Chain A
Amino acid sequence: MTTPVDRPIPGTEEIVRYAPRTRIAHWILVLAFLLLALSGLAMFYPPLYWLSNLFGGGDIMRAVHPWIGLVMVVAFIAVASQVFTHMRMQARDRQWLRQLGDVTANREEKLPDVGRYNAGQKLVFFSVITCATVLLLTGLEIWRAYFTAYFPVELTRLASLLHAFFAFVLILTIIVHIYAAIWVKGSVRAMTRGTVSYGWAWRHHRAWFRDVTRSAARK
Chain B
Amino acid sequence: MSLQSLDIIRRSATTIPAPAARGAHTGEVAKLIDVTKCIGCKACQVACMEWNDLRDEVGTCSGTYTNPADLSDQSWTLMRFAEYENDKGDLEWLIRKDGCMHCADPGCLKACPAPGAIVQYANGIVDFVEENCIGCGYCITGCPFNVPRISKKDKKAYKCTLCSDRVGVGLEPACVKSCPTGAIVFGSKDDMQRHADERIVDLKSRGFEQAGLYDPAGVGGTHVMYVLHHADKPEIYSGLPKDPRISTMVRLWKGATKPLAVLAILGAALAGVLHYVGVGPNEVTKEDEEAARRELEKQS
A62 & B134 in contact (Cβ 8 Å cutoff): yes
* Contacting pair B14 A46 (CB below 8 A): yes
Contact partners of A209 in chain B: CB under 8 A: 292, 295
B140 within 8 A of A: yes
Residues from 2 to 18 in A contacting B, C-beta threshold 8 Å:
13
With a cutoff of 8 Å between Cβ atoms, the chain B residues found around residue A42 in the complex are 113
B210 on the A face (CB < 8 A): no
Residues from chain B with Cβ under 8 Å of A144 in the complex = 135-137, 140, 150
Q: Does B2 contact A (CB under 8 A)?
A: no
A20 to chain B, nearest CB (A): 24
The reply to whether the CB of B64 lies closer than 8 angstroms to some CB of chain A is no
Contact of A171 among B137, B141, B265, B282 (CB under 8 A): B265
Evaluate contact between A172 and B268: CB separation under 8 angstroms: yes
Main secondary structure of the interface of B (DSSP, over half): helix
B residues 132-163 touching A (CB-CB < 8 Å): 132-138, 140-141, 146, 150, 155
- CB-defined contacts of B288 to chain A, threshold 8 Å: 199-200, 202-203
> What distance in Å separates the Cβ of B146 from its nearest Cβ neighbour in chain A?
7
Question: Which one of A26-34, A70-78, A84-92, A182-190 is at the interface?
Answer: A182-190
Contacting residues, chain B, for A185 (C-beta < 8 A): 281-284
A130 within 8 A of B: no
Residues of chain B within 8 A of A45, CB atoms compared: 258-259, 261-262
A41 interface residue, CB < 8 Å from B?
Answer: yes
The listed residue (B136, B253, B292, B295) touching A62 by CB distance below 8 A is B136
Q: Is the CB of A104 within 8 A of B299?
A: no
What 1/0 mask marks residues of chain A from 191 to 214 whose CB sits below 8 Å from any chain B CB? Answer: 000000111111110000110011
Given A198-B296, A199-B285, A202-B295: A175 and B253 within 8 A (CB)?
Answer: no
Q: How far, in angstroms, from A97 to B283 measured CA to CA in the complex?
A: 20
Tell whether B252 is near chain A: CB-to-CB under 8 Å: yes
Q: Does A150 contact B (CB under 8 A)?
A: no
- Is B268's CB under 8 angstroms from A175's CB? yes
What 1/0 flags go to B62-84 for Cβ under 8 Å of A?
Answer: 00000000000000000000000
B interface size (C-beta, 8 A): 51
CA distance A184 to B276 in the complex (A): 10
Residues of B within 8 A of A156 (CB): 140-141
Tell whether B27 is near chain A: CB-to-CB under 8 Å.
no
State which size class the interface on A falls in: 35 or more
Given the interface contacts A48-B262, A186-B284, does A59 sit within 8 Å of B268 by beta carbon?
Answer: no
Cβ contact within 8 Å between B253 and A161: yes
Known contacts A171-B265, A186-B284, A49 near B13 by CB under 8 Å: yes
Output the nearest chain B residue to A197 by Cβ-Cβ distance: B284
For residue A217, which residues in chain B have a CB less than 8 angstroms away from its CB?
299-300
Is B15 in contact with A47, judged by CB distance below 8 angstroms? yes
Q: Can you report 20 A-B residue pairs in the complex whose CB atoms are below 8 A from each other?
A: A13-B292, A41-B262, A46-B113, A57-B134, A59-B134, A62-B134, A104-B275, A108-B282, A144-B150, A157-B141, A161-B252, A168-B265, A183-B281, A198-B289, A198-B293, A199-B291, A202-B288, A204-B282, A210-B295, A214-B299
Known contacts A172-B268, A203-B288; 12 additional CB pairs below 8 A are: A13-B289, A156-B140, A157-B249, A160-B249, A161-B250, A161-B252, A168-B261, A200-B288, A203-B284, A209-B295, A214-B299, A217-B300
Name B's A-contacting residues (CB within 8 A). Answer: 13-15, 113-115, 132-138, 140-141, 146, 150, 155, 247, 249-250, 252-253, 257-259, 261-262, 264-265, 268-269, 272, 275-276, 279-285, 288-289, 291-293, 295-296, 299-300
